[in-house]
Amino acid sequence: MKLLWLQAAGCGGCTQSLLGAENRAGVLAQLADAGVELLFHPALSEASGEESLALLRAAADGSLPFDILCVEGALLRGPNGSGRFQLLAGSGRPLIDWLRELAARARYVLAIGSCSAFGGIISAGENLTDACGLQFDGDQEGGVLGGDFRALAGLPVINVAGCPAHPGWIVDTLLSLGLGALGASDLDAWQRPHFYSEQLVHHGCPRNEYYEFKASAQKLSDLGCLMENMGCKGTQANADCNLRPWNGVGSCLRGGFACISCTEPGFEEPGHPFMETPKVAGIPTGLPTDMPKAWFVALAALSKSATPRRVRENSRADHPLIRPGIRKSGPK
């Protein structure tokens, strides 16, 4: 399979994330082993200037066959639907026009990151550039390609959402396509691959003991659970960040920051400060996905009454104050 990668409006963070994929031979070699060849990438390919434009023209008119179109960054439709806020350098044509032509030739179309999936950070605020995703505008179907779009293989846009997308999500999606192992039933309601969206960020969170006892952090440097006061949405966000952290060790929560649910449409405008938890009568409005409010209130009250002193004291400090006890006769 031949892969064509374009970058639209964004920071390039998903490419930076991809380059950090855990493979000693390098991510391109890993893809090549699965039969996926990088035909063009604006940051990684040697081709530039007229040479790259000739390649894109050939791909758009069908004289250069390719299989996978990856798009990174939000698509700018302004002003007035013309797309002229973002022209493909040297071509004088709006990037969205190029994308529509290329998408019609691709067997698979992938939105890499939440910007190209839903609009992301670029679409926040007044959105004067009329930024959107490939097949979604926020949480509404549409985008640049329209809700009815299907690539030549019959699939809608595959949204590898995240800000940035985890390198493993990108690589695993491409490997699955290379091996013919990704179909419509493998995508969720937001068209994200199930292999990472069927998990919650909460799974594998290093602060889960504090969550269990509702021992909550009061400020950013505290070790406690960040859900009650610090805006964490890990119990609602679909991703496996804490089960396979970046570079084997890193995730937002492991770095001391709350999960902001960056794999979901609209995460960029939660309606409240990112590091604050909105509440009604002292109860967080954003509760765990599958838990009724009454259950949460009862569980929280019971858990707090049973919180060990070690957990309670450590939750409000920036380092462990009390170490776990040691059984001289060993665990029973």
Q: State which of 195, 223, 247 marks the end of a domain.
A: 195
270: pLDDT strictly greater than 80: yes
Tokens of 18: 């991809």
DSSP 8-class letter at 59: H
Q: Looking at the domain assignment, is residue 50 inside a domain?
A: yes
CATH number at residue 45: 3.40.50.700
pTM for this one? 0.93
Co-location of 272 and 310 in the same domain: yes
Tens digit of pLDDT for each residue in 167-193?
999 999 999 999 999 999 999 999 999
Residue 183 backbone phi and psi in degrees, to 5: -125, -175
Co-location of 171 and 206 in the same domain: no
Cα–Cα–Cα angle for 199, 200, 202, nearest 5°? Answer: 135
Tens digit of pLDDT for each residue in 72-113?
999 999 999 999 999 999 999 999 999 999 999 999 999 999
The C-alpha atoms of residue 16 and residue 14 are separated, in whole angstroms, by: 5
Q: Which residues contact 70 (CB under 8 A, 6 or more apart)?
A: 3, 4, 5, 6, 110, 112
Q: Looking at the domain assignment, is residue 331 inside a domain?
A: no
Co-location of 6 and 127 in the same domain: yes
Query: Which is nearest to 239 in space by CA: 207, 200, 205?
Result: 200
Residue span of the structural domain in which 6 resides: 2-195
Q: Name the β-bridge partners of 81.
A: none
Co-location of 247 and 102 in the same domain: no
Q: Name the β-bridge partners of 137.
A: 140
Q: Name the β-bridge partners of 111.
A: 71, 159
CATH number at residue 273: 4.10.480.10
Q: State which of 195, 222, 249 marks the end of a domain.
A: 195
The C-alpha atoms of residue 106 and residue 87 are separated, in whole angstroms, by: 21
The C-alpha atoms of residue 155 and residue 168 are separated, in whole angstroms, by: 21
Q: Looking at the domain assignment, is residue 329 inside a domain?
A: no
Residue 124 backbone phi and psi in degrees, to 5: -70, 165
Co-location of 39 and 169 in the same domain: yes
> Please, what sign has the CA dihedral across residues 169, 172, 178, 183?
negative
Considering the chain, what is the average pLDDT of its residues? 93
**Domain count of the fold of the chain:** 2
331: pLDDT strictly greater than 70: no
